[in-house]
Amino acid sequence: MTTPRTFLRRGTALLAAAGLLAGAAGATWWATLTPTAAQAEVGAISVPAAVTESVYACPASPGNSVGAVDLGQTSSATSITVLGAGTRAAYGGQRLEDSTLSTDDAVGGVLTLAPGQDSEASATGLVTTSTASGDLRGLTASACAPASAVSWIVGGSAALGSSSELRLVNPGRTTVTATVTLYGSTGPLTLPSGGQVAVPAGGSASVLLESASSADARVAVSVEADGGMLIPSLATESLDGETPAGTDVLTAGAAPSTDLLVPGVVLADPEKDAGSSDAGSSGGEAHSGAQDGGGVQAAAGPALRIVNPSEAEATVSVTLVGADGEKELPGAQSLVIDPGAVFDVSLEGVAAGTYGIRVTSDQPVAGAARLVRTAGEYPAGSGTLMRDVAWVQAQDAAVVADAALTVPAPGRGQTITSTLVLTNPARQSATVTLAAATGSWSQEVTVPGGKTVSVDLDADTLPQGTGALTLSAPQGSQVRAAAVLTQSVEGDAAGTLIAVVPPVADAAAASARSLQLR
């Protein structure tokens, strides 16, 4: 991530380099007469960064970019908790008088934090929407996220009947040019203006992925910022003919790597989720999914999505890390993904349960998982089931070491339930400490090596009204985590809605930088 501190260090390095070059010519002849001195090995040291302002963007709800007609009633909520003693905060340009903010809307906004003396400026926030019926039936839950110079979001669809709106927020004081690269099932797709988007200072811009050169159901996107940093999110909406097919708001995940882990993959129990396509027999094989006549993959069931942004083929293998340990996903070993292509691996044959998914590859790849909850047939006689979807991105190992997370606070009247899913791909067990942001409660969770555990974040676990949490783990821990949110709705569109919320690395985690002296 490029920050003002990064530019300061680069500027210092350039000045130092200029001085060294100026003296190099005069020193060359002396070096030929003088024996070379032994060089002491110099390693990386941790350098505390200056305490500076922190900025987050809290994504707004989906905006009906799909053009839905039957709009059901939506309930919304925004919850923000400021962390750090003495931190001054403003949201949407309005100063916050307290360390917490709760509203019943989902309009989104920029959260700006100024640190107190000798403290880091950090926060955690969540924006949720719940629509129990209508074309946009679904549950969305998105975390307030910090800015980045390069971001990856895997998920969504640009196929007919779907809309994926990429939103770019520029919290800085100068215009930032974004280069948006869209990947599809057969390779990169062309966007208007070549994917170049000017995002004004303190403003935002959006790109509809369905405006690309091909209507593709399998997409992934990268955003590179020139002249500053941006905060991206992706609002997705889908209709399968007249049938609601889910909504979600995605935030950025891990950058491409040869070893990825996607946490929070909860596949439904058919006894609890009638008609769910998430559950199946444990012996099913992975497959890329049915193809229609135009080569666009049907996107109805749960799946692992992988994008290969490299210029060479990527050979990938998939492992499920569950409560009982690790096992290879049958049919998903040594899969070959073409350069620039997006590939979906079906999870419909995987037994119901809680997993993390590990992806290893000989080329850097990015990934995410799509979770699905299905309901009854709609319209009657159509043969098509309603569904809701949630995307969970691959996650960097360093996030859980010092992170914050907000879930809907359990208590009277709360109909959304939350489960924290933690996966440890390492061989040794690891302990993660969960705590209320207020410091009034904490609990240690031990995650055995090569396994996944879950913690219900309900009234039996959390104190009344507690939704803002911090997570911490020893440095070097490999644990990843995500909160899976579900809600049961009644009426003509009865069923289960689903969303996934990732933890966000605390600002303090970025306050130390490794400086390698050469």
3-state secondary structure 281-312: CCCCCCCCCCECCCCCECCCCCEEEEECCCCC
**Band of residue 206 on the pLDDT scale cut at 50, 70, 90:** very high
Residue 141 is predicted with a pLDDT of 99
Report the C-alpha gap between 109 and 166 in whole angstroms. 16
Number of domains, the chain: 1
Phi, psi of 416 (to 5 degrees): -95, 130
The pLDDT of residue 347 is above 50: yes
Answer whether residue 276 is part of any domain.
Answer: yes
Answer whether residue 306 is part of any domain.
Answer: yes
The pLDDT of residue 19 is above 60: no
Answer whether residue 195 is part of any domain.
Answer: yes
Which residue range is the domain that position 128 belongs to? 54-290+299-514
Q: Name the 3-class secondary structure at 6.
A: helix
Share of the chain above pLDDT 90, in %: 77
Q: What is the pTM of this model?
A: 0.85
499 — alpha (psi -120 to 50), left (phi > 0) or beta? beta
The pLDDT of residue 48 is above 60: no
Return the half-sphere exposure (C-beta side, CA atoms, 13 A cut-off) of residue 385.
18
CA of 333: how far to CAs of 40, 289, 314, in Å?
Answer: 45, 16, 12
Report the C-alpha gap between 359 and 408 in whole angstroms. 31
Answer whether residue 41 is part of any domain.
Answer: no
**Band of residue 25 on the pLDDT scale cut at 50, 70, 90:** very low
Q: In the predicted model, what is the mean pLDDT of residues 324-337?
A: 97
Answer whether residue 34 is part of any domain.
Answer: no
Answer whether residue 423 is part of any domain.
Answer: yes
Share of the chain above pLDDT 70, in %: 82
Q: In the predicted model, what is the mean pLDDT of residues 272-276?
A: 54
Q: In the predicted model, what is the mean pLDDT of residues 491-515?
A: 78
- Give residue-wise pLDDT tens across range 254-271: 999 999 999 999 999 755
Residues near 454 by beta carbon (within 8 Å), at least 6 away in sequence: 266, 323, 354, 419, 420, 421, 422
Answer whether residue 17 is part of any domain.
Answer: no
- Give residue-wise pLDDT tens across range 55-106: 999 999 999 999 999 999 999 999 999 998 788 999 999 999 999 999 999 9
**Band of residue 116 on the pLDDT scale cut at 50, 70, 90:** confident
Q: Is the dihedral of CA 92, 97, 101, 103 positive or negative?
A: negative
Residue 416 is predicted with a pLDDT of 97
- Give residue-wise pLDDT tens across range 439-489: 999 999 999 999 999 999 999 999 999 999 999 999 999 999 999 999 999
Answer whether residue 398 is part of any domain.
Answer: yes
The per-residue pLDDT of the chain, averaged, comes to 87
Closest CA to 484 of 248, 274, 324: 248
The per-residue DSSP string of 294-362 comes to: TSPBP--S-EEEEE--SSS-EEEEEEEEETTEEEE-TT-SSEEE-TTBEEEEE-TTSPSEEEEEEEEEE
